[in-house]
Amino acid sequence: MGSELIYRGHDAQPMPDTYSPKPDKPWLPVARAMRYLLREQRLVFVLVGIAIATLLFTVFPGSPSTHSGYGSGQYEPIPGAHMAHYNSFNRFESEHALYQQRAGFGSVSGKVPLGLKRKGLRIVVTGGAGFVGSHLVDRLITRGDSVIVVDNFFTGRKENVMHHFGNPRFELIRHDVVEPLLLEVDQIYHLACPASPVHYKFNPVKTIKTNVVGTLNMLGLAKRVGARFLLTSTSEVYGDPLQHPQVETYWGNVNPIGVRSCYDEGKRTAETLTMDYHRGAGVEVRIARIFNTYGPRMCIDDGRVVSNFVAQALRKEPMTVYGDGKQTRSFQYVSDLVEGLMRLMEGEHVGPFNLGNPGEFTMLELAEVVKETIDPNAKIEFKPNTEDDPHKRKPDITRAKELLGWEPKVPLRKGLPLMVSDFRQRIFGDHKEGVASGSSSS
């Protein structure tokens, strides 16, 4: 029997010519959201979180006196003993406009809102127990900042910062910057390094390690915590200059293998590292080139000309002049330098900046000023000059005047008596203690 194909046309269903999707259910998004919340008890967790937050805000309400600017929930009146410190803050509010946003005000323009006081910064000062560092610490503490002093006491003295002991905004760490240090700070003033020939020639390898490795460690800290870094370089980067006066664009005339090169080249390398971190890692940096500075708390026998002359004249010894005494130096009082460092740190310019007094004196002229101040009958003794001693040194501070609004205010004849008073107290105080101890032992 043959197979037959039977076509049943009447059983075929007509196919629609176009596709029409099913209409959306109006409550589908709501249903999906409810299923998501109900699944795995998510709704329970949301309700518990709301309850906890409500309880916390009820038990610990925010204080309305947030105008103190210190983030505490309660405003405390300032004790009368510290009113002088807080009154002095107002002088620096305009200078710190750049840091108001950083200090927690959140203002793009950096201005302090009405009714708010400036919040202190957390600042580390390496070498802060030394001559310049201790005066800088005084100013920062008075301004209301929290200061951490890092010093290994090679040339620094605890007596220079002892008056801050007990202040909750002051900390002292005995530490060598050649070793890494981990801190959380807003600013770093890097002053650590022996600055007088007697001290930096004592251990030249240690001196250049402090300048290079110590600066690397502090720059690394600044990079890690986002702190602004200020390097205190020196006029010694100009060496025995062939340009007079010295401007910041002058590259210098330095002996790279001399007895002073551990300090001169060490500081030049520190400047190089600072700029490399600025260009390569985006670290905010400032560079100051410090010229001869004098004032209270200088080391008495550190070999620098001002301290030498003053100590020798007080002890009735001949003042030692090396060479013919016609070498020139420029001398700035320490308070002028501290003002310049703070303005540089708070400004917008990297530098380098010369910070010094352009008033120029020969060594013989300086000796005459010391004689007028201490003893008109003081004698002068000439000795052969030391190796690589610069013949002239005078800063051009035009750039600091224009960009920082800074220039020294204290002339030599006004600042020197203040230093003499400090030296007289320390020299004769130590002498009397020595005589008393000697007589008791005998």
Least Cα distance to 89 among 68, 109, 62 occurs for: 68
Look at strands 285-290 and 328-330 and give their pairing.
unpaired
Least Cα distance to 392 among 287, 256, 289, 292 occurs for: 292
Residue 151 pairs with which residues in a beta bridge? 174
Tell me the HSE value of 18 on the side-chain side, using a 13 A CA sphere. Answer: 2
Please name the residue that has the structure tokens 């100051």.
288
Residue 329 DSSP SS3: strand
Q: Active site residue: 263, 277, 294, 333, which one?
A: 263
Separation CA 135–CA 157 (nearest Å): 12
Least Cα distance to 285 among 230, 353, 349, 222 occurs for: 230
Q: What angle do CA 285, 350, 183 make, to 5 degrees?
A: 15
Is 263 an active-site residue?
Answer: yes
104, 265 contact by CB (below 8 A): no
230, 166 contact by CB (below 8 A): no
Please name the residue that has the structure tokens 């750039």.
399
**H-state helical runs in 226-362:** 261-281, 305-314, 334-346
Separation CA 59–CA 57 (nearest Å): 6
How far are the Cα atoms of 241, 267, 387, 399 from residue 252, in angstroms, in the given order? Answer: 6, 12, 17, 18
Residues known to be catalytic: 263
